[in-house]
A and B are shown apart, each in its own frame.
Chain A
Amino acid sequence: MSIAVSDKNSAVTQKRSIGAVLWDYLTTVDHMKVAHLYLFGGAFFFILGGIEAVIIRIQLLVPENDFVSAGFYNEIITMHGTTMIFLAAMPLLLGMMNAIMPLQIGARDVAFPFLNSLGVWLFILGGIMLNMSWFFGGAPDAGWTAYAPLSTTSPGHGVDFYAVGLQIAGAGTLMSGINFLVTIINMRAPGMTYMRMPLFTWTTFITSILILFAFPALTVGLFLLMFDRMFGSAFFDVALGGNTIIWQHLFWIFGHPEVYILILPVFGLFSEIFSTFSKKRLFGYTSMVFATMLIAFLGFMVWAHHMFTVGMGPIANTIFSVATMAIAIPTGIKIFNWLATMWGGNVKINSAMLWALGFIPSFTIGGMTGIMVATVAADYQYHDTYFVIAHFHYTIVGGTVMGIFAGLHYWWPKIFGRVLNETLGKITFWTFFIGFHMTFFIQHFLGLMGMPRRYWVFLENQGLDTGNFISSLGALFMSIGVIVFIYNAIYVWLKGEKAAADPWDGRTLEWTTASPPEHYNWKQTPLIRGLDCLWIEKTEGNGKMTPAEPLKDIHMPNNTIIPFIMTLGFFISGFGFIYQTENKLWYIALFGGMAIALLAMLVRSLQDDVGHYITKEELKGEAK
Chain B
Amino acid sequence: MTENTNTNNQLTDFHRQKNKEEMKRNVISFAMMIVSTIIAFAVVASGVMDRVFAIFLLFILAVAQVAFQFFYFMHMKEKGHAMPAVMIVAGTWAAFLTTFGLIAAVWW
Q: Which residues of A contact B (CB under 8 A)?
A: 181, 185-186, 209, 212-214, 217, 243, 245-246, 249-250, 253, 300-301, 303-304, 312, 316
Chain B window 87-108, contacts with chain A (Cβ cutoff 8 Å), 1 for yes, 0 for no:
1001101100110011011100
Q: Are B94 and A304 in contact (CB under 8 A)?
A: no
- Contact among A186, A213, A249 with B102 in the assembled complex (CB-CB below 8 Å): A249
Q: How far is the CB of B60 from chain A (nearest CB, A)?
A: 26
B11 near A: Cβ within 8 Å? Answer: no
B1 near A: Cβ within 8 Å? Answer: yes
Q: With A186-B1, A213-B90 known to touch, is A246 a contact of B106 (CB < 8 Å)?
A: yes
Grouping DSSP codes into helix (H, G, I), strand (E, B) and loop, the A interface class, with mixed when no group exceeds half, is helix
Q: Are A304 and B91 in contact (CB under 8 A)?
A: no
Knowing that A217-B98, A304-B101 are A-B contacts, what are 10 other residue pairs whose CB atoms are under 8 Å apart, sorted by A's residue number? A186-B1, A212-B87, A212-B91, A213-B91, A245-B106, A246-B102, A300-B94, A300-B97, A316-B104, A316-B105
A-B interface, 8 closest residue pairs, ranked by CB to CB distance from nearest:
A213-B94, A185-B83, A253-B98, A312-B105, A249-B102, A245-B106, A300-B94, A186-B1
Q: With A186-B1, A243-B106, A249-B106 known to touch, is A303 a contact of B101 (CB < 8 Å)?
A: yes
Give Cα A301–Cα B97 distance, bound, in whole angstroms. Answer: 7
List, sorted by A's number, 13 A–B pairs whose CB atoms are closer than 8 Å. Answer: A185-B1, A209-B90, A212-B87, A212-B91, A213-B94, A243-B106, A245-B106, A246-B106, A249-B101, A249-B105, A250-B102, A253-B98, A300-B97
- Contact among B1, B101, B104, B106 with A253 in the assembled complex (CB-CB below 8 Å): B101
Q: Please, which residues of chain A bring their CB within 8 A of the CB of B97?
A: 253, 300-301
Q: With A185-B83, A186-B1, A253-B98 known to touch, is A304 a contact of B105 (CB < 8 Å)?
A: yes
Q: How far is the CB of B6 from chain A (nearest CB, A)?
A: 14
Give Cα A304–Cα B83 distance, bound, in whole angstroms. Answer: 29
Q: Please, which residues of chain A bring their CB within 8 A of the CB of B102?
A: 246, 249-250
Please, how many residues of chain B have a CB less than 8 angstroms from a CB on the other chain?
14
Q: Which residues of B contact A (CB under 8 A)?
A: 1, 83, 87, 90-91, 93-94, 97-98, 101-102, 104-106
Quick one: closest A residue to B84, CB to CB?
Answer: A185
Give Cα A300–Cα B1 distance, bound, in whole angstroms. Answer: 29
Q: How far is the CB of A204 from chain B (nearest CB, A)?
A: 15
Give Cα A246–Cα B104 distance, bound, in whole angstroms. Answer: 12
Q: How far is the CB of B81 from chain A (nearest CB, A)?
A: 11
Q: How far is the CB of A148 from chain B (nearest CB, A)?
A: 13
Q: How far is the CB of A303 from chain B (nearest CB, A)?
A: 7
Give Cα A316–Cα B5 distance, bound, in whole angstroms. Answer: 48
Q: How far is the CB of A215 from chain B (nearest CB, A)?
A: 11
Q: How far is the CB of A324 from chain B (nearest CB, A)?
A: 14
Q: How far is the CB of B92 from chain A (nearest CB, A)?
A: 10
Q: How far is the CB of A479 from chain B (nearest CB, A)?
A: 39
Give Cα A301–Cα B105 distance, bound, in whole angstroms. Answer: 13
Quick one: closest B residue to A304, CB to CB?
Answer: B105
Quick one: closest B residue to A296, CB to CB?
Answer: B90
Q: How far is the CB of A264 from chain B (nearest CB, A)?
A: 15
Q: Please, which residues of chain B bring their CB within 8 A of the CB of A300?
A: 93-94, 97
Q: How far is the CB of B49 from chain A (nearest CB, A)?
A: 32
Q: Which of B83, B97, B98 has the most CB of A within 10 A?
A: B98
Q: How far is the CB of B46 from chain A (nearest CB, A)?
A: 35
Q: How far is the CB of B45 from chain A (nearest CB, A)?
A: 32
Q: Please, which residues of chain A bring their CB within 8 A of the CB of B106?
A: 243, 245-246, 249
Q: Please, which residues of chain B bring their CB within 8 A of the CB of A209?
A: 87, 90
Give Cα A301–Cα B94 distance, bound, in whole angstroms. Answer: 9
Give Cα A217–Cα B87 distance, bound, in whole angstroms. Answer: 17
Q: How far is the CB of A248 from chain B (nearest CB, A)?
A: 9
Q: Please, which residues of chain B bring their CB within 8 A of the CB of A249?
A: 101-102, 105-106
Q: How far is the CB of B44 from chain A (nearest CB, A)?
A: 28
Q: Please, which residues of chain B bring their CB within 8 A of the CB of A316?
A: 104-105
Q: Please, which residues of chain B bring their CB within 8 A of the CB of A243?
A: 106
Q: How far is the CB of A359 from chain B (nearest CB, A)?
A: 29
Give Cα A330–Cα B93 distance, bound, in whole angstroms. Answer: 21
Q: Please, which residues of chain A bring their CB within 8 A of the CB of B83?
A: 185
Quick one: closest A residue to B5, CB to CB?
Answer: A186
Q: Please, which residues of chain A bring their CB within 8 A of the CB of B90?
A: 209, 213
Give Cα A214–Cα B105 distance, bound, in whole angstroms. Answer: 19
Give Cα A249–Cα B108 distance, bound, in whole angstroms. Answer: 14
Quick one: closest B residue to A310, CB to CB?
Answer: B105
Q: Please, which residues of chain B bring their CB within 8 A of the CB of A312?
A: 105
Quick one: closest A residue to B101, CB to CB?
Answer: A249
Q: How far is the CB of B94 from chain A (nearest CB, A)?
A: 4
Q: Please, which residues of chain B bring their CB within 8 A of the CB of A250?
A: 102
Q: Please, which residues of chain A bring their CB within 8 A of the CB of B94?
A: 213-214, 300
Quick one: closest A residue to B102, CB to CB?
Answer: A249
Quick one: closest B residue to A209, CB to CB?
Answer: B90
Q: How far is the CB of B28 from chain A (nearest CB, A)?
A: 31
Give Cα A253–Cα B104 distance, bound, in whole angstroms. Answer: 14
Give Cα A228–Cα B40 distance, bound, in whole angstroms. Answer: 36
Give Cα A243–Cα B108 distance, bound, in whole angstroms. Answer: 13
Give Cα A98–Cα B70 distance, bound, in whole angstroms. Answer: 32
Quick one: closest B residue to A249, CB to CB?
Answer: B102
Q: How far is the CB of B13 from chain A (nearest CB, A)?
A: 31
Q: How far is the CB of B40 from chain A (nearest CB, A)?
A: 28
Q: How far is the CB of B39 from chain A (nearest CB, A)?
A: 32
Give Cα A185–Cα B82 distance, bound, in whole angstroms. Answer: 11
Give Cα A352–Cα B56 distance, bound, in whole angstroms. Answer: 59
Q: How far is the CB of B10 from chain A (nearest CB, A)?
A: 24
Q: How far is the CB of B2 from chain A (nearest CB, A)?
A: 9
Q: How far is the CB of A271 from chain B (nearest CB, A)?
A: 23
Give Cα A209–Cα B88 distance, bound, in whole angstroms. Answer: 11
Give Cα A245–Cα B108 distance, bound, in whole angstroms. Answer: 13
Quick one: closest A residue to B86, CB to CB?
Answer: A209
Give Cα A300–Cα B97 distance, bound, in whole angstroms. Answer: 8
Q: How far is the CB of A296 from chain B (nearest CB, A)?
A: 9
Q: How far is the CB of A253 from chain B (nearest CB, A)?
A: 5
Give Cα A209–Cα B93 distance, bound, in whole angstroms. Answer: 13
Give Cα A212–Cα B106 distance, bound, in whole angstroms. Answer: 25
Q: How far is the CB of B104 from chain A (nearest CB, A)?
A: 7
Q: How far is the CB of A83 from chain B (nearest CB, A)?
A: 27
Give Cα A253–Cα B96 distance, bound, in whole angstroms. Answer: 12
